[in-house]
Structure 1
């Protein structure tokens, strides 16, 4: 049952992130090929990085449903994105949902590959954030990862909650996944709504040595 849940979560996460890529393509007024590229970069980018680091078969090569989902989302948005008002708002909220889901899914896949809990958490965060980073860089926008609002921290919290719950609290994996997704999404939602951010480094004058 949990394996099926992870597969569904993976496909849904890919679809959500692909949609964010398609929405960026619509804002940039790209052609259909551009929509496909943006949806694909965003949908499978994080998982591709994770699999390469873990030295495991890249997931979308063996299971081409992921590519088909990305391309289907790209085509749909090419024809219908113009009917959606306030697309940037949709992009932000869709990205928040995908962020929390991908962090948990990436952490679970990394854990199943035999890495330590810390590495699983880091790879969960990377799975959740790399696709969006690639999307924004290709589109010539400031990546959400580099903005002041809490972003990567929400992915980190999702992955850490999941790994801690199943490793140290012996929580059933399905319950842990649902809890972790809710917590990560809640943090990101608070950042979107209230502008939450972490303290930032401020430049100071260097010490003068004589």
Structure 2
């Protein structure tokens, strides 16, 4: 049962003017928020509201456990070792608006259309988050992850390593100096690949 406390106010004229101004200001704020929500809705987006930051991270952890992936892209480059590593967080879905909502909530990433492998399938989209976003997101969702927890721990370590490589002055980026970092990244890459292959 919802209980309501009713209070009778008896302000003087000066207080009444202040209350009117306060009421008008509240009405303006309410109208602005409603307008923004209306625009989001009419643009095909979803309206997400969270009571606090913890609730937001729990929501995101659930999505990543079910629809997301934590992995490292390994690709060839025309310099130095010839191999580079790129930690990624990705969420795939056939609903682009849903991914746009996630992107708006987390404040990171970009959305790309995945190759169309079958004419009978819906178009597939992917929200990708790179190192800077991972640094902000993954440590916060880590306590709430279940399926992707091991990958999350490894991806945090990988981001730290790529950060150290990036901060190394160009004149000090010798193979000998960076090789331990690359060896560790290769180790993490293989571990995450195996975890994802097993569907864990």
User: What TM-score, normalized to structure 1?
Assistant: 0.29
Which structure has the larger Rg?
2
User: What TM-score, normalized to structure 2?
Assistant: 0.30
Higher strand share: 2
Higher helix share: 1
